[in-house]
Amino acid sequence: MEPKPPRRRGRTTLIVGVAALLGAVAGTATGYTIQADRPPTALPPLSQPGLAYPAKALPAGTKVKALSAEEDSQVRTDGDLRKLLLGKPEGVREAPSDYIVDGWSQLPLYTGEAERPSAMFGFLAGLDFRRVAATSWDQPGDHVTNIDLVQFGPGPNFGARDLADDQTAYSESLGGPGEPIKNSSNGHYWVFKARHEAGFLPYYARALAHRGDVVVDINIFDSKPIAASEIRDLAERQLERL
C-alpha cells in the first residue's frame, strides 16, 4: 500500500501538545485551590530602588540611534513572511498540500488536520495567532519536507514562546531533550526512532525554535532514515533568515 501523505502526523502532534498545555493549566488551578485554604502570606515591599535604566541619564539633546532595517528583525518579519522561508532545493518539486495556498495557510486550514480541529483553532487563536507562511517539497523517493513560520500578534500573550514551549515538550516526550540549534537560545531538533504505523511514513525528524514573534517548525518525513545533519542544517539556515 502506498504511504499516505504524512501531513496529518504533523498536525496531530500539535493537538497532543495542546493536551499537555491543558494539563498544566489544570495543575495551576489545583495549586490555587490549595493556596485558598491557607492563611495569607505577607507580600514583600513593592519599592525596589536602583532599578532605573540606564544607570546614568543621557545628556540633554542626545538621541538614541535607531536600528537599521538590517539590524531590526521586526522590520523583516512584519513584511511578506513568505520571503523569509527557505527556498526548496534546486531540482525538487513543490509538494501538493491541502493546507498551503500561495505560500500562506489560514488558521482553519492549518488546524484542519488535527484530531480536534476546533480545540486547536481555539488554542492558537487564544495566543493571538496572526498568520502562517509555509512551504513543502518532495524529493526523490518518499522524502517530504515541511517548513512553517507561525507568527503571533502583539497582544498580551507570548504566543510564539508558548507554542514553541508546548511543542518542544511534546517532542521531548517522543524523543528526549533533542539537540540544540546553533545560534538559538531555545531551538532544538530531533531525529525520532522509526514508528511503523500503517499508512504513514515511518521516519520523522523535527526542529523547533522561536525568534521574536515567529515560531519555526520544520518537519521531515521519509521511508528511509533521516540524517541529523539535514534537519540541523535546515533549522540553522531558516533561523538565519529571521
**CATH number of the domain at 71-240, out of 2.60.40, 3.40.1000, 3.40.50, 2.40.50?**
3.40.1000
Question: What integer is the mean pLDDT of 192-213?
Answer: 93
- Calculate what percentage of the chain has a pLDDT beyond 90: 50
pLDDT at 213: 96
What pTM was estimated for this model as a whole?
0.71
Flag whether pLDDT at 36 surpasses 60: no
In 3D space, the residue among 107, 108, 115, 104 whose CA is nearest the CA of residue 8 turns out to be: 115
Q: How far is CA 216 from CA 40, 99, 150, 184, 208, in A?
A: 43, 17, 7, 11, 6
pLDDT at 19: 41
- H-assigned helices in the chain: 7-36, 73-77, 107-111, 117-126, 159-175, 228-240
Flag whether pLDDT at 202 surpasses 70: yes
DSSP per-residue string spanning 178-218: -EEPTT-SS-EEEEPPP---TTS-SEEEEEEEEETTEEEEE
Flag whether pLDDT at 21 surpasses 50: no
Rounded mean pLDDT of the chain? Answer: 79
Flag whether pLDDT at 181 surpasses 80: yes
* pLDDT digit string, tens, across residues 141-159: 899 999 999 999 987 889 9
Whether the link from the prior residue into 177 is cis, omega within 30° of 0, is no
In 3D space, the residue among 210, 216, 225, 241 whose CA is nearest the CA of residue 84 turns out to be: 241
